[in-house]
Amino acid sequence: MSEQPQHYPISRRNALRQMACGFGYMAAAGISSQQAMASSIANPLLPRTPHLFPRAKRVIFLFMAGGVSQVDSYDYKPLLYKKDGDMLDFTDQRILAKTGMGSSQRVMKPLWDFKQHGQNGAWVSDLFPHMAKHTDEYCVIRSMHTEGVAHGPATLFLHTGSTNLIRPSMGSWISYGLGTESQDMPGFVSLSPSFGNGGPRNYGNAFLPAAYQGTAMGRAGMEATKIGIDNLRNNSLSPDRQKRQFDLLQSMNHEQCQSQPGNSELEAVISSYELAWRMQSNAPEVMDISKESAATKELYGIGEKHTDNYGRQCLMARRMAESGVRFIQVNYSDNSNNPAWDQHNDMPKHKEHALAVDKPVAGLLTDLKKRGLLEDTLVWWGGEFGRTPYAQKNGTGRDHNPTGFSVWLAGGGVKPGLIYGATDEWGQYAIENKVHMHDLHATILYLLGMDHEKLTFRHEGRDYRLTDVHGNVIHDIVA
Amino acid sequence: MFSTPHKLVFTIIVSISAPQVDLWGLDSNDSGIEFFEKRIRPLLVERCIECHGPEKQKGGLRLDFKQGWEVGGDSGPALVPGDLTESRIIHAIHYEDADFQMPPKNKLSDEAIADLEEWIAMGAPDPRSGAVTDSRESGLSVEEGREFWSFKPIEKPKVPAVEDPLWQDSPIDSFIRAAQEAGGIDPAEKASRVDLVRRAYFTLIGMPPSPDQIESFVQDQRDDAFERLVDELLDSPHFGERWGRHWLDVARFAESSGGGRTLLYKDAWRFRDYVIESFNRDVPFDQLVREQIAGDLLPYNTPKQRSRQLIATAFLALGPTNYELQDKQLLRYDVIDEQVDTLGKAFMGMTLGCVRCHDHKFDPIPSEDYYALAGIFKSTRTLYNYTDNVARWVDTPLPMEGVKANELADAESISTELKPQLERKKATQSVFSQHTVNVPKPGPPKPSRLFPGIVVDERDAKVEGAWQFSQYSQNYLDEGYLHDGNIGKGEKAIMFSANIPITGTYEARLAYAEAANRSTQTPVTVSHSKGETAVIVDQTKPPSEYGRFHILGRFEFEEGHRSNVRISNRNTDGYVVADAVQWYLIEDESVIKSNARKEELAKLKTEIKSLESELKPIAQLLKARPIAMTVKEDPEPSDSAIRIRGIESRRGDVVPRGFLQIATLGDTTEIPHNESGRRQLADWIVSPDNPLTSRVIANRIWTWLFGQGIVSSVDNFGTTGQPPSHPELLDYLAIRMQELDWSVKSFVREIMLSETWQLSTQAKSNVVERDPSNRLLAFYPKRRLDAEQLRDAILASSGDIDLALYGPNIDGAGEINANSTAAQKIEYNYVFKDKRRSVYTPAFRVKRHELFELFDFGNINFTIGQRNTSTVALQALYMLNNPFLIDQSHVAAKRLIQDRQNPDERIELAFETTLGRAPTDEERRLIADFLSNGQTSDSVEEWASIFQSLFGSIDFRYLN
């Protein structure tokens, strides 16, 4: 049994489909088609060489669900202090979508003071004191804009490039394009995803083969100490007894396989049990942070009240990056329709969430850099949209703002310390070097060595892409 | 994997000569050309040509030569020389429309915009030559498409002659065998009786046979034993559970919306039961199509039939709709798109979704056809309205029978009678007590109910033309007000209307927020008991009453009549605004203060109270009646305009409602202007002339019986799909389907009784070599149990299965508001623990049953014509460690230890209940070894391990 090749098995039907797809890709990548067929039939998740120069090998996406306020964090707008409290005419996106009209709104100044940081003198507010220390390591894009005014559509758009239609998630596209370097771990992992705002569609493979679907580990709201791969442990049998049972199963399988020798699908079933057995032994170690040094844990804020939960997940993300997982998403979210960062009527609550993520994220950057991982790991921090520069319904919160917001990218071939793009004087509309979410998708694929116009999958007679018919690579931010 | 598109969609042939100035035209245009060369050409090169030049032609537009902008892109010429307002490019560079901003990344500088405007104003002189040959390729034309196999008329083919006598009885066998003879391969032997009975049970009812059922078939020596088995299983009520499930896959059935804010489809189970029952009753398939598309429009004889037909329309309603999408017109078209796409795939194997944005690139389906279908669904209400923040679907109360029906009918008639009475009394109360109202001060927005008399807000008014909603001027009532945008003069009107509760003289007043930019001559017409009176209002002046209402005049009104106040924007000279209208009763102080009035008011109060208490239980009764998720006709059916590039706000030509030209080979019924056209659409789909429908369903059923289709792309019969392996057999089956009056059971029976279906899975020696994908069906394809079969088989083997038929199965879904957070919590926190058959397992779109998620149920948001079979380690982990497997293994073990004492008999029975066969010698030895290594051979633990290994084994998971 131990002589079984380490294949990630797939069905014959899938294998045949892979073969068809593999051809085009390998032709583009300049690899012989024979080799292409051999490798893609055996394993859809084998690592593949992209056809552009890859600057990053993997992505860690720190998803701030609900929408961080750009005007309270990275987008400094002095005018907001000057006009604080004034009723002015704004084009509110929600009212606009429903009525096509502008409306009068009360300007609200930032709740946290801004200072300049680092060599690049980037403005960051006191909301994120730890992340502020790293401004020379990441590139802040202040001119993001996206589709969808409500969380559901915008969150789906961020993950799949579509507000409403069923499309594969970005992580699935990337696994499809690049495979994975880990044969003991899934290639695309989403840590603590929410059920809300699209739920599994945000890490779903849609029409791509099932091998590319994201594996959810934990659920939003679950303690980080309980996160793991489903069904990884047998809670009923001792290891010895389970080994006996496993051997019985595999012996029977080999016996039953005899009836149809050479049936690759049946062989794949046997291999899938072998891999499961290996995952059962190895994956817990990847997820286990207990052997990390005290200093490392302290770096991520593990053991501290506010930061323990997200810190553990960021550290797990680093361990997964080391073990070759291709796309790791660390969600900061919950299961409600108004997710974590969604402060419609209580802006000060932003501080609570900032406390939870600020130190762990900064710790992750430090740790990745120290280990030389930041060079080929692309770290993306951000949410599905930003927030309005004015108070919602004249209250104490801010509404959604998809027309201008900030995200940052670190490592993986991005110009460190660059401040890119700008919003208008209010921080509401991106106006200079605008980066649409489609553009961000195209750029991330580019950094991974893929051309977003060529990463296609034929479904129902049409070639689909992550960026649909849109998207421009933002070469300005590429190092 | 990385592939370039197969076809270039827009083949544009261009010849560009070197840039040159036309020296001969200097006298007329020299300064213009100079301006172009200095200011415009560099601008175009720098900011536009990258996307609208030789490399890319976004939107089909080129700006690198003159004819490029003259011909223009998908939405016509880019500019009109001399006319700024008609030049699309000007609107784009000003960023006026959020969907249409050019250049997309950075707005042009004010200077550049001014240059472009000046250039266009001077007539857009442009010396650049070059010609565009616009040969837009859109796959096949409709005429060319008629030659493609799936669009040709279906004709009954001649049954081929075959040598082997065994293969001559059934035409199906003759078609299959003839192809094998041509390919030089021989069919496998007939499957063993043990394999055949298991295959028949799983195929027809989705569950394994019990050891007794196996035994009785194996021992049945009659010639027609298999025929009897098939008939018995077709009659089982579990047939509908298995075959209904196939159709539920096609119908992308689910019990929640998924998407952004997932909503619980709490009544969707009625559609599931409708499907199961239809297959059990063998309702003809063409009838099923009619009911699902137009059940609400079909005639009926009984309330039960009416209910059935209403429930069927959930087919159109239960897609993955993102109800919270804010742009409700976009949502409306997204829903239509989903319906057209699902309908196309489900019934006709056509992919229509892509035609929303352009002519089909591969199939002979022009955009007009898509929008002809879209018009039918645009004329159908699927969303309750287009204004709710979180939209809703259409709930329809189901008609009832007997006592309950009478009760409800009574309740309804009482409700219809009493409700207007109550409203009138309340209105009387409010005009009689208008003097006691403490009127809000002028200033910020206030609810209209705080004002005296009868007040009707703009929210409840009827509008003509495109008014715009605003909250800009702050002294409005309720949520805001409307204005005409100071455009479209003479095209817009708004009518406020009230029921007059009591005869008398009223002052009619109009609420608006004055401003300097308002119209000084807004025409208002008041209808009253003496006729109509026209009034002109100067809306730049502040209203006199409480800073909000302007007095239009005093008029006589009669009780029980309606009074209308209509505001138009005809001949106005500024913004026309309308917020609310008030009817204020004019009475003498003496009357108001009289004792009679006090008594009247006291009497009204009592009457209102008693009416309200009478109506309350009635309202509750009406609320509790069974509800179905349905669609209904739109009150104003209309055709749809083409959306250019699928963008909702960019309209092209209006297309009459209709069907796909390519699949229209016979006569079609005209769609009456006052109907959506769904009835006619259903008739067209199931018409014998439609070349697609019967081919598609025949192929689906074949696929469900063999695991592979004659056309392997079961949902795609277009040019990008796969051609049929046996075209004549497919046509034979399509005709047969119609000859059998679309009876699914008879059709299934004919196929299952063929030799082909009863072959063994063991191929003869040279077969796999010659036909590796078994397209010639020389052996029966070994198939893996799908998710439902796997779960049901485990439960059936352990004996733990709950075989209750029909009915809802989501704990707590009952009477909750489906559009609420509580409903979502039901889904998010759901624990799947019932033991019912898998077809009843709650089919949520967000929280899936883990086993379904892992074992290739597929994407619950799409039509699933065929399940995939992936083999991944997460499945193996499930089989090894999931508590469901462990529990069920223990249940099975306990039962076995009770039922049999002898170890050999135990081994025997364990294999028969799980694998449907006796163990092989080797298996018997493996189990005996396992037991002898264990602590005690009588322990539940040991036997549970054996059962779990059997459940995980290849012969349990695969069907011979």
Q: Convert the pLDDT of each residue in A217-235 to its tens digit.
A: 888 888 888 888 889 999 8
Mean pLDDT of B42-53: 84
Quick one: closest CA in B to A207, which residue?
Answer: B859
Q: How many CB atoms lie within 10 A of CB B800?
A: 14
Are B392 and B440 contained in the same domain?
no
**A300 and A314 Cβ atoms separated by less than 8 Å:** yes
Q: How does B697-727 read in b/e, with b if 16+ C-beta sit within 10 Å?
A: bbbbbbbbbbbbbbbbbbbbbbbbbeebbbb
- Inter-chain contact B953–A155, Cβ cutoff 8 Å? no
Distance CA B659, CA A208 (A): 31
- Give the CA-trace dihedral at B176, B178, B180, B184, to 10 degrees: 180
Distance CA B490, CA B484 (A): 10
- Residue B52 — φ and ψ, nearest 5°? -125, 55
In a domain, B157, yes or no: no
Show residues of chain A in contact with B718, CB under 8 Å: 461
- Of chain A, the percentage scoring pLDDT greater than 90 comes to 62
Show residues of chain B in contact with A458, CB under 8 Å: 3, 720
Show residues of chain A in contact with B955, CB under 8 Å: 256
Average pLDDT, chain A: 86
Determine the pLDDT at residue B7: 34
> Residue B534: beta bridge partners?
B525
Helix locations, B313-443, DSSP H: 314-317, 328-348, 367-378, 402-432
Distance CA B768, CA B779 (A): 10
Residue A59 has pLDDT above 90, yes or no: yes
**B261 and A337 Cβ atoms separated by less than 8 Å:** yes
Domains: count for chain B: 4
Determine the pLDDT at residue B152: 95
**A185 and A323 Cβ atoms separated by less than 8 Å:** yes
Distance CA A406, CA A428 (A): 11
Distances (CA, A) of B414 to B107, B202, B419, B620: 63, 53, 8, 13
- Inter-chain contact A450–B362, Cβ cutoff 8 Å? no
* Shortest distance, CA A397 to any CA of chain B (angstroms): 19
Are B896 and B799 contained in the same domain?
yes
Helix (H, G, I), strand (E, B) or coil at B524: strand
Mutate to test the interface with B, among A236, A428, A472 (most CBs of B within 10 A): A236
- Inter-chain contact A233–B468, Cβ cutoff 8 Å? no
CB pairs under 8 A between A and B: 302
Distance CA A262, CA B680 (A): 53
Distance CA A144, CA A164 (A): 20
**B453 and B495 Cβ atoms separated by less than 8 Å:** no
Residue A40 has pLDDT above 90, yes or no: no
- Inter-chain contact B1–A22, Cβ cutoff 8 Å? yes
Q: How many CB atoms lie within 10 A of CB B301?
A: 7
Residue B167 has pLDDT above 90, yes or no: yes
- Of chain B, the percentage scoring pLDDT greater than 90 comes to 58
Mean pLDDT of B193-215: 97
- Inter-chain contact B868–A197, Cβ cutoff 8 Å? no
Distance CA B380, CA B298 (A): 15
Are B29 and B119 contained in the same domain?
yes
Q: What domains can you pick out in chain A, each with its CATH number?
A: 43-231+291-477 (3.40.720)
- Inter-chain contact B716–A26, Cβ cutoff 8 Å? no
Parallel, antiparallel, or unpaired: how do β-strands B580-585 and B504-511 relate?
Answer: antiparallel
- Of chain B, the percentage scoring pLDDT greater than 70 comes to 94
Q: How many CB atoms lie within 10 A of CB B10?
A: 15
Please count the residues of chain B: 960
Helix (H, G, I), strand (E, B) or coil at B270: helix
Are B578 and B650 contained in the same domain?
no
- Inter-chain contact B882–A231, Cβ cutoff 8 Å? yes
Of A48, A152, A176, the CB nearest to B261: A152
Are B454 and B544 contained in the same domain?
yes
- Inter-chain contact B954–A151, Cβ cutoff 8 Å? no
The amino acid sitting at B491 is E
Of A24, A103, A244, the CB nearest to B930: A244
Determine the pLDDT at residue A101: 65
Determine the pLDDT at residue A119: 95
Reported as type and span, the H/E element at residue A122 is strand A122-125
Of A195, A242, A275, the CB nearest to B847: A195
Domain boundary among B114, B136, B158: B136
Determine the pLDDT at residue A371: 97
Determine the pLDDT at residue B392: 87
- Inter-chain contact B471–A231, Cβ cutoff 8 Å? no
Quick one: closest CA in B to A336, which residue?
Answer: B821
Determine the pLDDT at residue B801: 97
pTM of the model: 0.71
Distance CA A305, CA A288 (A): 20
* Shortest distance, CA B380 to any CA of chain A (angstroms): 21
In a domain, B762, yes or no: no
Average pLDDT, chain B: 88
Distance CA B423, CA B427 (A): 6
Mean pLDDT of A153-163: 94
CATH of the domain at B512: 2.60.120.260
Q: How does A182-219 read in b/e, with b if 16+ C-beta sit within 10 Å?
A: bbbbbbbbbbbbbbbbbbbbbbbbbbbbbbbbbbbbbb
* Shortest distance, CA B700 to any CA of chain A (angstroms): 16
The pLDDT tens digits for B862-903 are 898 888 777 778 899 999 999 999 999 999 999 999 999 888
**B33 and B20 Cβ atoms separated by less than 8 Å:** no
Determine the pLDDT at residue A295: 96
Are B526 and B651 contained in the same domain?
no
Distance CA A210, CA B864 (A): 14
Residue B675 has pLDDT above 70, yes or no: yes
Least confident of A269-283, A293-307, A350-364, B53-67: B53-67
- Inter-chain contact B873–A8, Cβ cutoff 8 Å? yes
Supply the DSSP symbol for B474: S
Distance CA B301, CA A377 (A): 68
Distance CA B522, CA B515 (A): 13
Selection from B99, B633, B93 nearest residue B327 by Cα:
B99
Reported as type and span, the H/E element at residue A319 is helix A308-322
Torsion region of B82: left, alpha or beta (phi above 0 gives left; psi -120 to 50 gives alpha): left
Residue B245 has pLDDT above 90, yes or no: yes
In a domain, B256, yes or no: no
- Inter-chain contact B877–A231, Cβ cutoff 8 Å? yes
Distance CA B10, CA B61 (A): 11
Selection from A408, A468, A401, A400 nearest residue A430 by Cα:
A401
The amino acid sitting at B756 is T
Least confident of B97-101, B266-270, B276-280, B417-421: B97-101
Mean pLDDT of A197-220: 85
Distances (CA, A) of B796 to A272, B276, B791, B900, B913: 25, 20, 9, 18, 9
Determine the pLDDT at residue B180: 95
Least confident of B134-148, B554-568, B782-796: B134-148
Question: Degrees (nearest 5) of the Cα angle A247, B953, B220?
Answer: 135
Determine the pLDDT at residue A91: 81
Helix locations, B349-401, DSSP H: 367-378
In a domain, B212, yes or no: no
**A70 and A341 Cβ atoms separated by less than 8 Å:** no
In a domain, B592, yes or no: no
Range of the domain at B444: 433-587
In a domain, B797, yes or no: yes
Selection from A134, A113, A57, A129 nearest residue A408 by Cα:
A134
* Shortest distance, CA A115 to any CA of chain B (angstroms): 28
Mean pLDDT of A348-370: 97
**A437 and A144 Cβ atoms separated by less than 8 Å:** yes
Mean pLDDT of A243-262: 90
Report the half-sphere exposure of A108 (CA within 13 A, side-chain side).
27
Determine the pLDDT at residue B524: 96
Supply the DSSP symbol for B234: H
The token pair that represents B579 in the structure block: 């917020």
**B779 and B241 Cβ atoms separated by less than 8 Å:** no
Are B939 and B829 contained in the same domain?
yes
Quick one: closest CA in A to B357, which residue?
Answer: A469
**A63 and A383 Cβ atoms separated by less than 8 Å:** yes
As a whole number of angstroms, the longest Cα–Cα distance in chain B is 114
Distance CA B660, CA B367 (A): 10
Mean pLDDT of B655-671: 88
Least confident of B292-301, B642-651, B920-929: B642-651
Of B351, B472, B847, the CB nearest to A104: B472
Q: How many CB atoms lie within 10 A of CB B615?
A: 18
Least confident of A435-439, B266-270, B587-591, B910-914: B587-591
Handedness of CA B51, B57, B61, B62 (dihedral sign): positive
Residue B666 burial class via C-beta count within 10 angstroms: exposed 0-12, middle 13-18, buried 19 and up: exposed
Question: Degrees (nearest 5) of the Cα angle B401, B403, B407?
Answer: 100
Q: Confidence class of residue A368 from pLDDT cuts 50, 70 and 90?
A: very high
In a domain, B499, yes or no: yes
Show residues of chain B in contact with A9, CB under 8 Å: 871-872
Q: How many CB atoms lie within 10 A of CB B368?
A: 17
Q: Confidence class of residue B78 from pLDDT cuts 50, 70 and 90?
A: confident
Are B380 and B452 contained in the same domain?
no
Are B947 and B818 contained in the same domain?
yes
Domain boundary among B554, B587, B620: B587
Residue B473 has pLDDT above 60, yes or no: yes
Mean pLDDT of B596-616: 92
Interface ipTM = 0.71
Show residues of chain A in contact with B941, CB under 8 Å: 241
B397 against B298, higher pLDDT: B298
- Residue A366 — φ and ψ, nearest 5°? -60, -45
Are B380 and B438 contained in the same domain?
no
Mean pLDDT of B107-124: 88
Quick one: closest CA in A to B328, which residue?
Answer: A98
In a domain, B85, yes or no: yes
Determine the pLDDT at residue B800: 95
CB under 8 Å to A330, separation ≥6 — which residues?
Answer: A60, A61, A62, A63, A191, A192, A310, A313, A314, A317
B391 against B185, higher pLDDT: B185
Residue B646 burial class via C-beta count within 10 angstroms: exposed 0-12, middle 13-18, buried 19 and up: middle
Distances (CA, A) of B314 to A402, A435, B392, B393, B481: 34, 41, 14, 10, 37
Are B564 and B647 contained in the same domain?
no
Supply the DSSP symbol for A375: G
Residue B389 burial class via C-beta count within 10 angstroms: exposed 0-12, middle 13-18, buried 19 and up: exposed
The token pair that represents B109 in the structure block: 């500088």
Are B360 and B461 contained in the same domain?
no
**B701 and B751 Cβ atoms separated by less than 8 Å:** yes
* Shortest distance, CA B298 to any CA of chain A (angstroms): 32
Of B6, B351, B876, the CB nearest to A273: B876
Mean pLDDT of B738-761: 97
Q: Confidence class of residue A320 from pLDDT cuts 50, 70 and 90?
A: very high
Show residues of chain B in contact with A93, CB under 8 Å: 326
- Inter-chain contact B881–A280, Cβ cutoff 8 Å? yes
Domain boundary among B118, B136, B154: B136
Determine the pLDDT at residue A6: 31
The pLDDT tens digits for B348-385 are 999 887 777 777 767 888 888 999 999 999 999 999 88
Of A9, A150, A461, the CB nearest to B324: A150
Distance CA B486, CA B492 (A): 10
* Shortest distance, CA A372 to any CA of chain B (angstroms): 30
